[in-house]
Structure 1
Amino acid sequence: MSNIPSKDISKPTLSIYNTLTSQLLNDIYNKFDNIFSTKKNQNKIDLNLNKQRNQNNQDKIDLDLNNNVITCRIENIGEYVINKQPSIYEIWLSSPISGPSKYKLKMDNNFKNKHTWLSKCNKNIINQLNREIEQIEKMV
């Protein structure tokens, strides 16, 4: 979607922005939750082999979605904070891996439901998080 010519991109209404940011935040929260729940379940299977490892891994993740802010603390890695900035139609990401970044909602007028969240460098927030989650999965 980042290849859409700028003349085809419009600014969304606040209502659309709020709907799409809520969707995005829920999707990101669920992605983190699914990954770390899977890790915890894998650790429970290993419980008989290594109780200490299981107890330590369960304490590694603290995930919260409250008032349109995701906070994900990952022991020995750092803290993610992802939140809405409705006055400027952005999502802000603070990452322990890539640092702070801002993403604007870009909508394509030619396709009713086609949109993406892009940084000034045309990086997509979902792609960025997917890359980082792959790195984190190897560390947790």
Structure 2
Amino acid sequence: MNRAYRLAAAGVLSAALVAGTAAAASAAPASPAAHSATAKAPQKAALTAKASTNSVKAWQEFRISGTSTGIKAGTKVTVQQKQGAKWVALPASVTTNKTGAYSLRVKLGIKGVNQLRIAGGGAVSPVITVTVR
């Protein structure tokens, strides 16, 4: 057998093997979870946040609470404050409980409208505003 013929024969066999494998894979049923009505797709990480008040005096304590979904229980979440164009982490953080809920105490000293959000587990909450007077 000459070399060209052997290479052509090997190519045909390889193509047949690949085609056979693909056909076998496409004929195989999908995983049982794909057909199950109760199977859940992984949830995208998300956080909610709500302040206990919309307005406080400087350095008056208030609470931010919310829930997390798609984030492992015990994940650390941190308050972030918009300062200029940057989000700056404040020294206020807590871990989520086994149901994904969290609540933390916050004090702000920058007078005016403060934009805050919660970040953790690869997610950030929608922005909440608290006015410091």
Relative to the length of structure 1, the TM-score reads 0.27
Bigger proportion of residues as helix: 1
- If asked which structure has higher relative contact order (CA below 8 Å, sep 6+), I would say 2
Which of the two has higher C-alpha Rg? Answer: 2
Relative to the length of structure 2, the TM-score reads 0.27
